[in-house]
Structures are given as structure tokens and as C-alpha cells.
Amino acid sequence: MNLGIRGKVALVGASSQGLGRASARELAVEGASVVLCARGVEALEAAREAIAAETGSPVHAVAADLSQDGEPERVVAEAMARFGQVDILVTNTGGPPSGPFEQHDSSTWRRAYELLLQAPVALARAVLPGMRERRWGRIIAITSIAVKQPVDGLILSNSLRAGLTGFARTLANETAKDSITVNCVLPGYTRTDRVVELAQATAKRTGVAEAEIYAKWEREIPMGRIGEVAEFGAMVAFLASERASYITGQSVAVDGGWIRSLL
């Protein structure tokens, strides 16, 4: 299937590894120029080299902490200086600490807000004028299955990713007339460093062996297995495509059936 994004420019947050890297790779496979962004310079450059070598698409890397004031705007400015525009924005950040409510003080909540909500809003604000001018754009927020079915021990993620979902759904209505779509993609339990960290934290908190934590998750997933990052990246690429031009305001789960709700 030709997704119709060859020559488009995509900016993908937290793309040195995991879901962000898989999303960036799929966009590059489809012929988009890609700007990678993450905090770790070494991992970021390794991702840039690997994706560029595999796909042949132009790939640029910008090291930044998007939770810091001014950094989202700087990253967008550098992307535009390099490629002239940003057509596709994939907002993605690392997950906040796990644990119950009493474990997190006000500074932890503030940091989670800056990471999960403030950064995506700032990125969207920076790219929207150009998208409106060209009357074409895709904004895709990577959130979590937790926005539809809260996950035990993830009160920070459950709360703030739900806030991001509300922002994205409202923005979708405001931008639809300019042929800009805004959607969320909800990863389930996927083979990433974040899931390894969650398994370790859950094992420590509950006293259950890590292997049993993974087995429990797999029993809860109708497909009976943990997801792979490439499966998630494929959905991001589709929602970024010309083929998805009439899909907006949606939260699409890539979770092997884990969410049990009807909607």
C-alpha cells in the first residue's frame, strides 16, 4: 500500500529507542524525511545512522529534553531549518515513575506534567501554523492503554495521559477544517525498556517474580503475547498517511485486545 507520505517531513519525539524509534523507522520506510529527538546523544545518533542506512530516507537528529521550557520550539525550528517544514508530528515521551499516590510528591507530579502534557502541547503549538498554511498535517500522540482502562500502580500516567487525550480530541475538532488530523495511539504491553522497568517495579512492589508478572500480562491479552514495536510503528505510519485523511479525534489501541471496553 502506498501511504502517500513520500517527501513529507516527520518529527518524532523520544525516538532513539522503543515505540518512538519504531514509529520513526516506519515513516522513513514510507519515504518521509524524519527528525529524531531524544535526550541521549549517543543512542540518538545510533538510531539516526541505523534508520538512514536501512531506509535511504533523510534522517536528522536533535538532542533535547522536551520537558524543558523552550526546547520543543527549538527542536521544531531546527527541523524547519533542515527540511523547510513539519508535516507529521508524533509526540512521545518516556513514562513517569510508577507507584501508588502516596509515593509521589508535588515535584514528581510537576515533572510528569511537564513531560506528558506540557511538551506535546508546546510541540503542537509550534507546528500548527505551518500545517494550517499548507492545509495538511498529522498530529499523533502516543499515549497508553491506561487512558481507557487505568493500569494499577500508574497513577501519574493514568492521570496525565488522559489529559493529553482530552487536548488531542479537542484539537482535532479545531483543526479538521484545515485537513489536519489529530489522533492518539495507545500502546499496550509491548517489548520495550519501559515494560521491562514496569515489570521490575511491579515485582519489587508485590513480591512476585518478574517471570510471573510477564505471564500474568500475557494471560490478560487475548492474543496471548507481548506486542512488538514494529506492530505499533505500523499503526502510527498509517495514521500519518494520506489513506487516513478521514480519521481524526480517535484513540486507537495497539494492545492485542487487552482493553475490554466496547469503545
Q: Return the CATH number at 124.
A: 3.40.50.720
Residue 56 belongs to some domain of the structure: yes
Residue 49 belongs to some domain of the structure: yes
Residue 1 belongs to some domain of the structure: no
Query: How far, CA to CA in Å, does 165 sit from each of 172, 184, 237?
Result: 10, 7, 19
Distance of CA 248 to the CA centre of its chain: 16
Domain total of the chain: 1
Residue 219 belongs to some domain of the structure: no
Residue 173 belongs to some domain of the structure: yes
Residue 197 belongs to some domain of the structure: no
Residue 259 belongs to some domain of the structure: no
- Domain containing 56: what range? 9-189+228-254
| pLDDT score recorded for residue 1 | 67
| pLDDT score recorded for residue 121 | 98
**What tens digit of pLDDT does each residue of 175-213 get?**
999 999 999 999 999 999 888 888 888 888 889 999 999
Residues of the chain with pLDDT under 70: 1
Kindly give the interhelix angle for 229-239 and 18-29, rounded to the nearest 10 degrees: 50
| pLDDT score recorded for residue 75 | 98
Enter the DSSP assignment of 6. Answer: T
Q: What is the pTM (predicted TM-score) of this model? A: 0.95
CA dihedral 6→9→13→19, nearest 10 degrees, is: 0
